[in-house]
């Protein structure tokens, strides 16, 4: 559940950052930054440690996310040093921001925190934040509202500095015009498809095949494979308990009635006059004077509170919404703010109220009275909770007994499983690159090929795929990697050698013809000499249909020719195919034809790109100014 709660932040932050920062905030939860790690550090950033367990948790989340986005991804890549270094780099950059935020005393306004929490889909009913659901979801995940808000505030504090940089991005109309001319560019060119040359000899001798096979032996190996006995235990496959009786449900309702209390809610807008942390008396007096002037405007006949908020409020999170904070419950705000809020009647506006964020002018728009949901309304939810808790309890009991039995006798999975009436299954053979279903998970594959399972012939440690889903493995069969017979790969090697000969001959032919073209021979004469024809293309675009994408890519990479001149090149289209290209003209895009709304959309994209570049430059500067140590051998 917490993974789902964290995912919602990635979309918000992706509007500000891209590249490595998208990777950081999309993949890494915040738990590791609030729970002390006792593992050996893998990096130190300005004296702050990134622990081994913290790194491993982030690595596992990154692997799972990559496989969800690309199920066909080779698991070997996810186990490689390049991927691990990317994960560590993301953690380092995050820690740089944490360190700087701590140094600057960066604070997250309560209004921003409330807004972010209210946007979590798991806390909403019919698209709106629901306090009862909020409390219930947190309780189901072992969290209190205070603890969750602390975690959320810490995560948001890391985002404030990059957001501030991004908000300052400015794109001029001339820059927009330049970009539009570039992306709307067209090119005039001519090209000739060169015939694939016939190579001699057209056969490959057995000696050549044998020599190639010997030189490239590692390319012609069958992969190492294993089959495993396994127990796949999850809360979903634990037998369902009997349904609770009406009396049991009534007792549960009475015991948990606080869960079903819908507290009073207040729809509020505000105008914030911000104060810096540790504000001086002079600063407080100035802020109060400003707040009182705005308060007078808000109380004037015919005043538009939303317009005043847009003009004067320092709360970036609500200013553009006319100061709206949505529906708030008791305990959601600063005590002083809450006291002023509950004292108002709908339509009333408070005098300036001082909190740790500054002075607030509060408008109460509407109020919902609190109530307790009746038993009939929550009966189905109580039944589901009862069954879920019973299953969870039984899962914990079986999992604990199973792990204890394996610890006592790691050499046998079957005995432990049989004693608990848990089925043992046998997988098909699969390689280190992974199999299908359960065996596509890199954690399962990694355990199957670990020394504990493969060499020591012991049962694996529990593999936790989720909080209530574990897998245990024991080796059933091992097939080592071995050379494929020459006879099995002879035809493939022969085709490879012939293709290499064709590629070499085609490249040589293309180089010779290009030399003649550059020396002054006309393209049509060259085409005629090889029995080919010239294709003339006018106003080509990068995605023009019916043209080879490799040809278009090469054409749009060529430098623009001088007026009255041409640029000539040979383009490798792959598989022995080449084309001679003559670029005659480059035409910039016509910016006058773009509608205003599309121009603004392009400008917004450019601002986002500029924002990302500014953030990355900022992080690079932070890195240069910070002592960073890494321990690659601990990754």
Note whether 209 and 575 are within 8 A (CB).
no
- The Cα 410–Cα 458 span in angstroms is 5
CA angle 261, 264, 267 (to 5 degrees): 140
Please classify residue 182 by burial: count the beta carbons closer than 10 Å to its beta carbon, then call 0-12 exposed, 13-18 middle and 19+ buried. Answer: exposed
Q: Could you count the other beta carbons within 10 Å of the beta carbon of residue 94?
A: 23
**Average pLDDT score over residue span 14-42:** 40
pLDDT at 618: 85
What lies within 8 Å, CB to CB, of 203 at 6+ separation is none
* Strand 324-329 relative to strand 425-426, pairing: unpaired
CA pair distance 442, 62, nearest whole angstrom:
11
Closest of 301, 308, 321, 317 to residue 271, by C-alpha: 308
Query: Average pLDDT for residues 327-336, to the nearest whole number?
Result: 87
235-271 b/e (C-beta count within 10 Å ≥ 16 → b): beebeeeeebeeeebeebbeeeeebbebeebbbbbbb
Gyration radius of the chain over CA positions: 33
Q: What is the secondary structure of 336-368 as a DSSP string?
A: HHHHHHHH--TT-BPPPEEETTEEEEEEEEEEE
pLDDT (0 to 100) of residue 131: 81
Q: Is the model's pLDDT at 8 over the cut of 60?
A: no
- The dihedral built from the CA positions of residue 586, 592, 597 and 599, taken in this order, carries a sign that is positive
Residue 632 has what pLDDT?
Answer: 83
Give the torsion through C-alpha atoms of 432, 438, 441, 445, to 10 deg.
Answer: -30
Burial category of 578 from C-beta neighbours within 10 Å (exposed 0-12, middle 13-18, buried 19 and up) = buried
What is the rounded CA–CA span in Å between residue 334 and residue 149? 13
Rounded Cα gap, residues 176 and 172, in angstroms? 6
The reported pLDDT for the residue numbered 312 is 94
Q: How far is CA 455 from the centre of its chain?
A: 36
Q: How many CB atoms lie within 10 A of CB 177?
A: 17
**Would the pLDDT of 3 be above 70?**
no
Is the distance from CB of 461 to CB of 452 less than 8 angstroms? yes
Tokens linked to 316: 């970036």
Cis upstream peptide for 250 (omega within 30°):
no
Taking alpha carbons only, the member of 315, 276, 219 closest to residue 105 is 276
Within 8 A by CB and 6+ apart from 535, the residues are 190, 191, 192, 193
Q: Is the pLDDT of residue 28 over 80?
A: no
Q: Which residues in 342-486 belong to E strands, given as ranges? A: 353-355, 358-368, 371-372, 425-426, 430-431, 463-466, 469-479, 482-483
Using pLDDT thresholds of 50, 70 and 90, give the confidence band for residue 307: very high
Bridge partner list, 567: 583
Of residues 12 and 377, the one with the higher pLDDT is 377
Q: Which of 93-107, 360-374, 448-462 has the lowest mean pLDDT?
A: 93-107
The pLDDT of residue 364 is: 96
Complete DSSP assignment for 55-77: HHHHHHHHHHHHHHH-TTS-HHH
Structure tokens at 589: 């895009």
Q: What is the pLDDT of residues 391-444, one digit of tens each?
A: 889 998 999 999 999 999 999 999 989 988 899 999 999 998 889 999 999 889
pLDDT-derived band at 142, boundaries 50, 70, 90: low
- Crossing angle of helices 2-14/145-167, nearest 10°? 20
Span 264-369: which CATH code?
3.10.50.40
What are the CA-CA distances from residue 62 to residues 43, 53, 74, 199, 442 (Å)?
A: 18, 14, 14, 48, 11
What's the rounded mean pLDDT across residues 260-279? Answer: 88
What does DSSP assign to residue 625? T
DSSP helix/strand/coil, 441:
coil
Q: Mind giving me the DSSP string for 275-325? A: --TT--HHHHHHHHHHHHHHHHHHHSTT--HHHHHHHH---TTTGGGTTEE
Q: How far apart are CA 523 and CA 525, in angstroms?
A: 5
Q: What is the DSSP string of 523-559?
A: HHHHHHHTT---EEEEEE-TT-TTS-HHHHHHHHHSP
Q: 363: which 2 tokens?
A: 């408008």
Q: Could you give the CA distance from residue 390 to residue 244 in angstroms, rounded to a whole number?
A: 10
- Give the H or E element holding residue 597: helix 596-624
- Neighbouring C-alpha atoms within 13 Å toward the C-beta of 329: 18
Q: Which residue has the tokens 């590791």?
A: 32
Quick check: helix, strand or coil at residue 104? helix
Q: Which of the given ranges, 81-90, 156-165, 188-197, 381-390, has the highest pLDDT on average? A: 188-197
Closest CA to 397 of 253, 241, 243: 241
Query: By the 8 A CB rule, do 473 and 453 touch?
Result: yes
Q: Which region among 202-216, 372-386, 487-501 has the lowest average model confidence (pLDDT)?
A: 372-386
Q: Angle 281-299/305-312 helices, nearest 10 degrees?
A: 150
Ranking 46-50, 252-256, 455-459 by mean pLDDT, the lowest is 252-256
Instruction: Give 222-225 contacts, CB < 8 A, sequence gap 24+.
Output: 222/479, 222/481, 222/482, 222/483, 222/484, 223/431, 223/432, 223/433, 223/481, 224/431, 224/432, 224/449, 224/478, 224/479, 224/480, 224/481, 225/429, 225/430, 225/431, 225/478, 225/479
More confident residue, 139 or 586: 586
**Lowest mean pLDDT: which of 265-279, 285-299, 512-526, 612-626?**
612-626
| Every domain of the chain and the residues it spans | 2-171+614-634, 185-197+488-587, 222-243+377-483, 264-369
For position 32, what pLDDT does the model report?
A: 33
Q: Residue 54: pLDDT band by 50, 70, 90 thresholds?
A: confident
Q: Which pLDDT tens digit goes with each residue over 506-558?
A: 999 999 999 999 999 999 999 999 999 999 999 999 989 999 999 999 999 99
Query: How confident is the model over 58-73, as a mean pLDDT?
Result: 78
Kindly state the helix (H) or strand (E) to which residue 97 belongs, with its residue range.
Answer: helix 81-104
Indicate the class that CATH gives domain 2-171+614-634. Answer: mainly alpha
Exposure of 397 in the CB half-sphere (CA atoms within 13 A):
10
Local confidence band at 13 (pLDDT 50, 70, 90 cut-offs): very low
- pLDDT at res. 75: 66
């Amino acid at each position: 559940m917490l993974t789902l709660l964290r995912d919602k932040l990635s979309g918000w932050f992706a509007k500000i950052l891209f590249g490595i920062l998208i990777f950081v905030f999309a993949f890494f939860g915040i738990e590791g930054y609030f729970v002390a790690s006792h593992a050996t550090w893998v990096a130190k950033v300005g004296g702050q440690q990134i622990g081994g367990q913290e790194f491993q948790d982030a690595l596992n989340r990154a692997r799972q996310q990559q496989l969800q986005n690309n199920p066909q991804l080779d698991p070997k890549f996810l186990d490689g040093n390049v991927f691990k270094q990317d994960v560590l780099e993301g953690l380092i950059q995050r820690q740089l921001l944490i360190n700087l935020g701590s140094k600057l005393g960066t604070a997250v306004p309560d209004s921003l925190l409330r807004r972010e929490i209210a946007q979590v889909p798991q806390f909403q009913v019919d698209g709106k934040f629901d306090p009862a659901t909020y409390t219930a979801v947190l309780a189901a995940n072992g969290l209190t509202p205070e603890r969750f808000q602390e975690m959320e505030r810490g995560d948001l504090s890391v985002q404030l500095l990059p957001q501030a940089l991004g908000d300052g991005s400015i794109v001029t109309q001339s820059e927009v015009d330049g970009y539009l001319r570039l992306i709307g560019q067209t090119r005039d060119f001519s090209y000739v498809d060169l015939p694939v040359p016939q190579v001699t000899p057209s056969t490959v001798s057995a000696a050549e095949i044998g020599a190639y096979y010997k030189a490239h032996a590692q390319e012609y190996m069958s992969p190492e494979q294993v089959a495993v006995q396994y127990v796949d235990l999850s809360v979903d496959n634990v037998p369902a308990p009997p349904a609770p009786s009406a009396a049991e449900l009534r007792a549960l309702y009475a015991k948990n009635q606080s869960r079903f209390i819908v507290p009073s809610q207040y729809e509020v807008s505000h105008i914030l006059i911000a104060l810096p942390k540790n504000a001086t008396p002079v600063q407080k007096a100035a802020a109060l004077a400003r707040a009182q002037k705005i308060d007078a405007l808000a109380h004037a006949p015919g005043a538009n509170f939303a317009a005043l908020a847009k003009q004067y409020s320092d709360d970036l999170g609500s200013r553009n919404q006319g100061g709206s904070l949505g529906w708030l419950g008791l305990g959601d705000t600063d005590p002083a703010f809450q006291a002023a809020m509950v004292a108002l009647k709908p339509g009333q506006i408070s005098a300036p109220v001082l909190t740790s964020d500054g002075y607030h002018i509060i408008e109460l728009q509407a109020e919902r009275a609190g109530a307790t949901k009746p038993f009939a309304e929550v009966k189905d939810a109580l039944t589901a909770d009862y069954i879920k808790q019973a299953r969870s309890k039984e899962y914990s009991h079986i999992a604990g007994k199973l792990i204890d039995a394996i610890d006592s006798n790691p050499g046998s999975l079957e005995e432990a499983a049989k004693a608990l009436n848990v089925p043992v299954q046998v997988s098909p053979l699969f390689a280190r690159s992974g199999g299908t279903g359960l065996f596509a998970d890199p954690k399962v594959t990694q355990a199957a090929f670990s020394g504990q399972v493969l060499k020591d012939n012991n049962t694996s440690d529990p593999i936790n795929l989720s909080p209530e889903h574990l897998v245990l493995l024991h080796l059933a069969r091992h097939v080592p990697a071995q050379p494929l017979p020459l006879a099995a790969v002879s035809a493939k090697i022969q085709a490879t050698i012939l293709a290499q000969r064709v590629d070499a001959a085609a490249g040589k032919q293309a180089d010779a013809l290009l030399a003649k073209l550059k020396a002054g021979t006309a393209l049509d004469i060259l085409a005629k000499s090889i029995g080919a024809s010239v294709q003339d293309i006018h106003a080509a675009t990068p995605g023009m249909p019916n043209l080879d994408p490799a040809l278009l890519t090469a054409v749009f990479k060529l430098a623009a020719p001088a007026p009255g001149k041409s640029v000539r090149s040979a383009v490798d289209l792959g598989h022995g195919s080449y084309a001679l290209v003559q670029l005659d003209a480059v035409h910039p895009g016509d910016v006058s034809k773009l509608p205003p709304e599309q121009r603004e959309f392009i400008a917004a994209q450019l601002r986002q790109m500029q924002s990302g570049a500014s953030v990355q430059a900022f992080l690079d500067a932070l890195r240069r100014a910070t002592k960073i140590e890494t321990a690659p051998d601990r990754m």
